[in-house]
C-alpha cells in the first residue's frame, strides 16, 4: 500500500491494542494464534469451528460448543476492517466490542505491514457466544485479526476472499482517512456490497467528499458523520410537520449553522467525548446538513460572500422563491465531540412577517424554538442523543440499499465547500 510504514515501535503498539480484540467473557473456544501461517490453514481452522460431528443441530445447522453446550452460528454479514496505525487499532477494538450481539459477523481486521516479508501472515482468531435475549439461543460469531507483511500486503483482497462466508453481504469499514489512490484500497472496496467511512476523518475534506460521491456500490456508501445528523434532521423536519408552519418552508432565506471546535486550552480527554483519534475536518457534519437542506429544497449555488477562513464561510444560494444566506461558523465548545452541531437557525419570510426556527444544543439537551405568525416563541427542551461509534456503525450495517438522500447531500456539500475554497484561492 502507498502509505508510509510506521516504525517498529508503533507496529508493536498496534499489536498491543489489537490484543484486546476478542478477549472477553463471551470467548467460546480457546484463542487460536499462528505466526507465519497460510490462508489455507486459516480457512481450515474457521471451517473446523462449524463443520463435522457432533457439531450439527437437528436441522443440520452448524454448531460451536461453549462449555460443552452446542450453539448455532448467527453471523449475518462479513465485515472487513483495515487498521494502519495505533489510534485506528484502538478505535476498531472499542467499536467492535460494542457491536457483537447486535450485528454478529465474521469480522476480519487487516493490519498491513510492508517492511519485511518474513512470516508474511500472522493470525489470531477468537469465537464468541452471547445470550440472544428474550430466551433466544446463543448468538455466535468470529473475530479474525490478520497481520500481513511484505508482498502479501499488496494483495489483501486475495487473502481475504477465501475467508468470507459465502451468500452473506460484505461490508467494508475504513476507519481513518481512506487512501483514495491506493490500488489495494480499490481491491478491498470492490469486494464489498457496502462501504462505510467517516467524513470527519478525511484529511482533505473536499477530496474526500468528491471521492465518496463517486463510489458506486450495490448497497451504497455509509458515512458515520451523516448518521450523527439523524437527530438534527428529525428535529428540523418536525418544524414543518405543522400545516401552519409548512408555508414558510419554500421561503427560507437564511440558514445559520454553528459547529463545535475545541478550545485551545481545553483540559479534556477525547475518549470521554467519543472522539475518533485523528479527526481532521470538524466542518463535515455542518456541510452535510447544509447539503441536505439545499438538495431537499432545490437550492443552487449563486456566489460566495465570505470565502472559507478559519472554518467559517458564507455563501449566497438561489432558492425557488428567495435568495438564501448560508452561514457556517465554528464555535468553541468542550461539551460535545468536535464537529458536532451546536446550533441550527432557519429564517423565512411569509405573508404575515418573518419566522425563525431554532435548535440550540446545550451538552446533552437541546432547546427547540419557533417564532412565527407574530406569536411568542414556542420552546421545548428535548434530549439530544450522542450515539457511540458502535451505535453509528450498527445503524449503517442495518442498511442494505443505497441512500439517494445522502448521495445528493454529499455531492451538494462538495459543491458548497469548493465554492468557498475557490473564492479563498482567488
- Note down the domain range covering 305: 228-425
Residue 417 inside a domain? The answer is yes
Distance CA 66, CA 45 (A): 17
Q: Which CATH number is 306's domain given?
A: 3.30.360
Is 312 strand, coil or helix? strand
- Same domain membership, residue 300 and residue 173: no
Please give the grid coordinates belonging to residue 230: 439523524
Identify the pLDDT of residue 256. 98
C-alpha cell at 246: 409548512
Q: Which of 323, 311, 190, 183 is nearest to 254 (CA)?
A: 323
- Are 198 and 178 spatial neighbours (Cβ–Cβ below 8 Å)? no
Three cell numbers, residue 375 = 406569536
Q: Are residues 186 and 236 in the same domain?
A: no
Q: Which residues contact 60 (CB under 8 A, 6 or more apart)?
A: none
Are 272 and 396 members of one domain?
Answer: yes
Query: How many separate domains does the chain show?
Result: 2
Task: Looking at the structure, tell me whether residues 261 and 406 fall in a common domain.
Answer: yes
Closest CA to 337 of 291, 284, 383, 407: 284
pTM: 0.85
State the greatest distance between any 2 C-alpha atoms of the chain, in Å, as a whole number. 78
With respect to residue 160, please indicate whether it lies within any of the assigned structural domains.
Answer: yes
Q: Are residues 133 and 252 in the same domain?
A: no
Q: 13 near 87, Cβ under 8 Å?
A: no
172 assigned to some structural domain: yes
295 and 186 fall within a common domain? no
Q: How far apart are the first and last CA of the chain?
A: 35
Q: What's residue 265's pLDDT? A: 67
CA atoms of 266 and 269, how far apart (whole Å) = 9
Q: Where are the alpha helices (DSSP H) in 111-229?
A: 156-160, 183-191, 205-214, 224-228
Query: Would you give the DSSP letter of residue 133?
Result: S
Q: What's the confidence (pLDDT) of residue 19?
A: 54
For residue 46, which of 25, 67, 26, 32 has the smallest C-alpha distance?
32
341 and 255 in a common domain: yes
How far is residue 235's CA from residue 246's CA, in Å, rounded to a whole number?
A: 14
Instruction: Give the chain's residues under pLDDT 70.
Output: 1-28, 50-74, 86-87, 100-101, 116-117, 131-138, 265-280, 351-352, 376, 423-426
Considering the domain boundaries, does residue 20 fall inside one? yes
If asked whether residues 172 and 295 sit together in one domain, one would say: no
Report the distance separating Cα 113 and Cα 94, nearest Å.
22
Q: Which residues contact 146 (CB under 8 A, 6 or more apart)?
A: 42, 108, 109, 110, 111, 121, 122, 123, 124, 159
In a domain, 283, yes or no: yes
Q: 137 and 265: one domain?
A: no
pLDDT of residue 287: 98
**Selection from 265, 235, 262 nearest residue 358 by Cα:** 235
Domain co-membership, 187 together with 232:
no
CA dihedral of 402, 406, 408, 414, whole degrees rounded to 10: -130
What's the pLDDT score for residue 13?
57
Decide which of 131, 166, 192 is a domain's last residue. Answer: 192
Q: How many CB atoms lie within 10 A of CB 310?
A: 8
| 154 DSSP 8-state letter | G
Instruction: Confirm whether 216 is domain-assigned.
Output: no
CA distances in angstroms from 115 to 91, 112, 352, listed in the order given? 24, 10, 70
- Please check whether residues 163 and 239 belong to one and the same domain: no
Identify the burial level of 315 via C-beta atoms within 10 angstroms of its C-beta, where 0-12 means exposed, 13-18 middle and 19 or more buried: buried
Q: What per-residue confidence (pLDDT) applies to 4? A: 45
Question: According to the model, what pLDDT value does residue 244 have?
Answer: 83
Q: Strand pairing partners for 309?
A: 312
- What's the full length of the chain, in residues? 426
Per the CB < 8 A criterion, the answer to whether 412 and 295 are in contact is yes
Considering the domain boundaries, does residue 220 fall inside one? Answer: no
- DSSP conformation class of 233: H
Q: How far apart are CA 196 and CA 77, in angstroms?
A: 14
Amino acid at each position: 500500500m502507498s502509505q508510509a510504514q510506521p516504525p517498529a515501535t508503533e507496529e508493536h503498539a498496534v499489536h498491543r491494542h489489537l490484543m484486546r480484540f476478542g478477549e472477553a467473557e463471551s470467548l467460546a473456544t480457546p484463542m487460536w494464534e499462528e505466526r507465519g501461517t497460510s490462508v489455507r490453514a486459516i480457512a481450515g481452522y474457521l471451517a473446523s469451528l462449524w463443520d463435522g460431528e457432533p457439531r450439527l443441530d437437528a436441522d443440520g445447522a452448524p454448531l460451536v460448543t461453549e462449555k460443552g453446550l452446542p450453539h448455532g452460528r448467527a453471523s449475518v454479514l462479513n465485515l472487513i476492517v483495515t487498521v494502519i496505525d495505533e489510534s485506528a487499532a484502538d478505535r476498531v477494538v472499542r467499536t467492535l466490542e460494542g457491536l457483537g450481539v447486535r450485528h454478529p459477523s465474521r469480522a476480519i481486521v487487516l493490519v498491513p505491514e510492508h517492511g519485511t516479508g518474513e512470516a508474511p501472515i500472522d493470525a489470531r482468531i477468537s469465537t464468541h457466544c452471547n445470550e440472544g435475549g428474550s430466551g433466544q439461543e446463543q448468538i455466535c460469531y468470529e473475530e479474525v485479526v490478520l497481520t500481513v507483511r511484505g508482498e502479501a500486503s499488496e494483495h489483501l483482497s486475495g487473502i481475504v476472499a477465501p475467508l468470507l462466508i459465502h451468500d452473506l453481504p460484505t461490508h467494508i469499514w475504513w476507519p481513518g482517512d481512506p487512501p483514495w489512490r491506493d490500488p489495494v484500497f480499490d481491491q478491498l472496496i470492490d469486494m464489498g456490497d457496502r462501504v462505510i467511512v467517516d467524513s470527519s476523518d478525511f484529511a482533505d475534506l473536499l477530496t474526500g467528499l468528491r471521492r465518496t460521491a463517486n463510489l458506486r456500490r450495490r448497497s451504497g456508501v455509509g458515512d458515520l458523520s451523516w448518521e450523527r445528523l439523524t437527530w438534527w434532521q428529525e428535529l428540523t423536519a418536525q418544524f414543518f410537520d405543522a400545516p401552519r408552519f409548512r408555508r414558510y418552508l419554500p421561503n427560507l432565506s437564511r440558514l445559520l449553522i454553528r459547529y463545535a471546535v475545541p478550545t485551545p486550552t481545553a483540559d479534556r480527554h477525547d475518549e470521554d467525548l467519543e472522539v475518533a483519534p485523528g479527526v481532521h475536518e470538524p466542518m463535515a457534519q455542518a456541510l452535510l446538513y447544509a447539503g441536505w437542506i439545499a438538495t431537499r429544497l432545490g437550492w443552487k449555488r449563486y456566489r460566495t460572500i465570505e470565502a472559507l477562513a478559519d472554518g467559517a464561510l458564507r455563501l449566497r444560494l438561489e432558492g425557488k422563491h428567495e435568495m438564501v444566506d448560508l452561514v457556517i461558523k465554528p464555535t468553541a465548545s468542550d461539551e460535545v465531540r468536535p464537529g458536532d452541531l451546536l446550533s441550527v437557525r432557519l429564517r423565512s419570510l411569509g405573508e404575515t412577517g418573518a419566522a425563525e426556527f431554532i435548535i440550540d444544543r446545550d451538552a446533552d439537551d437541546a432547546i427547540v424554538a419557533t417564532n412565527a405568525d407574530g406569536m411568542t416563541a414556542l420552546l421545548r427542551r428535548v434530549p439530544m442523543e450522542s450515539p457511540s461509534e458502535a451505535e453509528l456503525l450498527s445503524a449503517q450495517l442495518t442498511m442494505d440499499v443505497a441512500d439517494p438522500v445522502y448521495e445528493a447531500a454529499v455531492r451538494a456539500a462538495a459543491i458548497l465547500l469548493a465554492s468557498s475554497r475557490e473564492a479563498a484561492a482567488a
